[in-house]
Amino acid sequence: MPDALIMAGRSLRLSARSPEALLTALLLPVMLMVVFVYLFGGAVRIGTSYVDYVVPGVLLLCAVTGASTTAVTVCQDMAGGIIDRFRSLDVPGTAVLAGHVTASLLRNFVSTLLVTAVAFGLGFRPRASAAAFAAALGVLLLFVAAASWFAAAFGLLVRAPEAANSAMFFLMFFTYASSAFVPVRTMPSWLRGFAGHQPATPVTETIRGLLLGHSAPLPLGAALAWCAGIAVVSAAAAAVLFRRRTA
C-alpha cells in the first residue's frame, strides 16, 4: 500500500478523534445551511427560491472551512517530532501531505452529503440528472483538493496551529466575495470585477448550473482550470516548503 494511503488513514483517524475537526466537518456545515436559508434567505430577493440558489454556495463554504482543517493538521505535524520519524522511515514529505489532503477530501465528501440532505429537508429541489449530480460533486471535490493543497502549503508556511487556522478566513473571503450567496451584479462596482474573475465564482456557477439544470453555457472550463491550477501550484509550493522546513 502506498505511503500516502497509510497517511490518509492516519489523518482520518486523527480527524475522527479531534472534536474540532468533527465540529468543522459535521456540525458547522449544517449550521451554515440553516443560517443562510432561514436568516439571510428572507432578506435576499433574487427571483428564484433562495435555498436552490444558495446550496452551491454553502457547499463551497463548507468545502473551504473543511479544507482549512488541513492547514492546522499539517502545522501540528510539523511542530511535533513525528515528521522526523516519518522521514527516517523514508516516507516522502509529499506522501505525508497527500495523506492530509486525501483525508480532507473524504471529510468533505461526508460534509457534502450531510449538507445536501439538510438542504433537501429545507426545500432544496434540484432539477439535475444523476450524471449532472455526479459532475457537480466532481467539480466540488476538485475545488476541495485545490483548497486543501493551498491550506497544506499555508500550514507549512506558518509556525503555530492557531495561525494556521487563519487559512480559513482567507479562503472564506473568496467564497463570500463571489456569486456563492448573492449575485455578483448586486455588488458595488469596485467589487464586481474581482468577484466575477476569481475562482469561487466559476466554481459556484458551474455547480449551480449542473444542479439546477441551467441551459445557459456553464463556466466549466474556467472552474476546472482554476482548481487544477491552484492545486498544482499549491502542491508544488507545499513540496518546496516541506523540504525547506525539514532541511
Partner 1 sequence: MNERGEPGAGRMNAGRAGPELAIEATGLAKSYRDVRVLSGVDLRVPRGTVFALLGPNGAGKTTTVRILATLVQADAGQARVAGFDVRRDRSRVRRRISLTGQFAALDDVQTGTENLRMMGRLSGLSRAAARRRAAGLIEQFGLTGAAGRRVATYSGGTRRRLDIAASLVGRPSVIFLDEPSTGLDPQSRLAMWRVIEGLAASGVTVFLTTQYLEEADRLADRIAVLDAGRIVAEGTAAELKRTIAARRLDVTGASRAAFEELIRHFGDRAVHVDDGNLTLGVPTEGDAAGIRALLDAADPDRDLVADFAVHGATLDDVFLTLTGHAGHVKESTHA
Note the residues at the interface with partner 1 (CB under 8 A): 1, 3, 6, 9-10, 13-14, 17-18, 80-82, 84-91, 246-247
CB closer to partner 1, 14 vs 122: 14
DSSP string, 113-142: HHHHHHHHHTT------HHHHHHHHHHHHH
CB closer to partner 1, 6 vs 160: 6
CB closer to partner 1, 185 vs 245: 245
Question: Please, what is the minimum distance in Å from the beta carbon of residue 10 to partner 1?
Answer: 6
Angle at 243 between CA 237 and CA 247, to 5 degrees: 145
CB closer to partner 1, 84 vs 162: 84
Question: Please, what is the minimum distance in Å from the beta carbon of residue 22 to partner 1?
Answer: 12
110 backbone dihedrals φ, ψ, rounded to 5°: -65, -45
Residues with Cβ within 8 Å of 108's Cβ and at least 6 positions away in sequence, in order, are 25, 62, 63, 66, 67, 140, 141, 144
Closest CA to 76 of 25, 151, 172: 151
d(CA 97, CA 102): 9
Question: Please, what is the minimum distance in Å from the beta carbon of residue 14 to partner 1?
Answer: 6
Question: Please, what is the minimum distance in Å from the beta carbon of residue 7 to partner 1?
Answer: 8
Question: Please, what is the minimum distance in Å from the beta carbon of residue 30 to partner 1?
Answer: 24
CB closer to partner 1, 27 vs 79: 79
